[in-house]
Amino acid sequence: MRRFFQKLKIKGFWQNKYLISIIVLLTLFSIIATISAVSSYRISIKGARHLLETRATDIAVNLGFSLERLGLNLDLFPDLVASDRWECLAFLALIDKDMTCILHSNQKLIGRKMKDPSIQKVFSLERIVTHFEKLATGEKVFILDFPLKLHIDYVNRIKSQQTGIAMTFSKKHTHDTIEPRPALKIFCLRVALHPWPAFSIERKAKFQLVMILSSLVLLWLLAIFFIRAWKKNYMLEQSLAQKERMAALGQMAAVLAHEIRNPLSTIKGFAQIYLEDASDPTVKEDMELIVEQVARLERLTSNLLIYAKPTEIFLENFEVKELCKELPKILPVHKEKIKLVLECNGKNVVTDKLKIIQIIVNLVQNSLEAIKTESDNGIIQVTINGTEDGIKIYVEDSGPGFPKENREDFFQPFFTTKTKGTGLGLAIVKRLSEAMNGRIHIGSSNLGGAMIQVFIPAPQED
């Protein structure tokens, strides 16, 4: 998991092993709880459906025995529905293969032709078919269509009752001769049940599922709140540690600057005097080298002080084009053979102008040093765009570019790949940008070298 976060280039807080363990355990628990809740819900739904099927099948089997034993009676189904024997019973119907309803709990429907695919499926497959159906009253009922085989003479009896032919069947009527058992004919017995018990089970299952999922959501919200609080505390600790390091570095830098600048000024002064009076080319070259190296040390002490001292922001309103008029005189390129391309767009921006200049100077100085490691010729392009959202700075060069393996380390203080670099240029850029809530992005330039993009947002109204 740590390598995963490293691949995502997420450092610091998100690489904490305890945090990773908590997130992994919480994720596994959530997955297991969700799978368990969904499985329980599905099992409950299947159980509710099975309960309805079992009850309807039991009613259909009992009705089959009753019809076989008692015969077809027009009052049988209405009496059963009106009785308390099966409270969940909605209606009953018996349909023959001609799709004619020969028995129904609602006697007005007897003799009506039925057009129902499920009934046709019962006759074609001779197996039980179940489904839910919405009645004309708007009620949803559970339907079980049961294939039932009855003797033909019972059918003749019920048809005679429907056509009004008087047929009397006395309980005491007996036959002197034994008649052969009539042939069987298949019918569809439709049993409709009120799904209240099943819906009650489904409601409980849904309630349980919602409660478990709500608990998981609440757990994740608490975990996010805990992680945010932990992160805030972590960032505060890092900030305090950084301030302590910067305070120690500032004290050291102040002492070093005081102790180094005085001897450097003396060395530089004598070297410039000897440089003006020197007639020997060798001595003159040595004095130029001394002056150059002293200037390099002075830049190092200045950068060290800039990086170490606390950053204070002083906002001012200025035009981007005015800034571009000042930059050519400030940037360290005018004495070199390297070409500088400066492009400015936009109007007024509100930010710390001196900090912006310092950022641009350090970026250009970094590009200048990178180009000079390969040749004395090259191109540095600086683009400044001022918008309502803030100011964007693009610095591109034709140098060697940034190695991909350690791009993130270039903003660390004293890290450099150049032989003459101090390693503070980009660190100062990052420090000043963060002080103004800015963002930095590094990449490859169309000029063949590196590209650094700095965005400084407009300050908030408060």
Tens of pLDDT, residues 201-255: 888 888 888 999 999 999 999 988 988 888 888 888 888 887 787 677 667 767 7
264-290 tens-digit pLDDT = 788 888 788 877 877 788 878 888 888
pLDDT value of residue 2: 47
Other C-beta atoms within 10 Å of 416: how many?
Answer: 19
Mean pLDDT of 194-201: 84
Q: CA–CA separation, 216 vs 438, rounded Å?
A: 37
At 346 the pLDDT is: 84
- Percent of the chain residues past pLDDT 90, beyond the cut: 10
Is the whole model's pTM more than 0.85, yes or no? no
**What is the average pLDDT score of the chain?**
80
- Check pLDDT > 70 for residue 454: yes
388 is a domain residue: yes
The Cα 179–Cα 159 span in angstroms is: 21
Return the CATH number at 155. Answer: 3.30.450.20
Q: Which two tokens stand for residue 422?
A: 């101090």
Count of helices and strands (H, E) across the chain: 10, 12
Residue 236 lies in a domain: no
The total of structural domains in the chain comes to: 2
Q: Give the single-character DSSP code of 408.
A: G
Instruction: Print burial letters for 326-365: b (CB count within 10 Å at least 16), e (below 16).
Output: ebeeebebeebebebebebeeeebebbbebbebbbbbbbb
Q: Determine, yes or no, domain membership for 441.
A: yes
The residue with greater pLDDT, 429 or 332, is 429
Residue 270 in any domain: the answer is no
And the tokens for 135?
């009645």
More confident site: 55 or 420 = 55
In a domain? residue 278:
no
Burial 213-242, CB ≥16 within 10 A → b, else e: eeebeeeeeeeeeebeeeeeebeeeeeeee
List beta partners, residue 100: 113
Q: What domain range is 447 assigned to?
A: 314-462
Higher pLDDT, 144 or 273: 144
Predicted pLDDT at 414: 67
Q: What confidence tier does 181 reach under pLDDT thresholds 50, 70, 90? A: low
Rounded to 5 degrees, φ, ψ at 263 are -65, -35
What share of the chain in percent tops pLDDT 70?
82
pLDDT band at 166 (very low <50, low <70, confident <90, very high): very low
Asked, for residue 247, whether it belongs to a domain, the answer is no
β strands within 216-290, DSSP E = none
Q: Is there a domain that residue 444 lies in?
A: yes
Structural domain contains residue 238: no
CA distances from 280 to 274, 289, 291 (A): 11, 14, 17
pLDDT at 421: 60
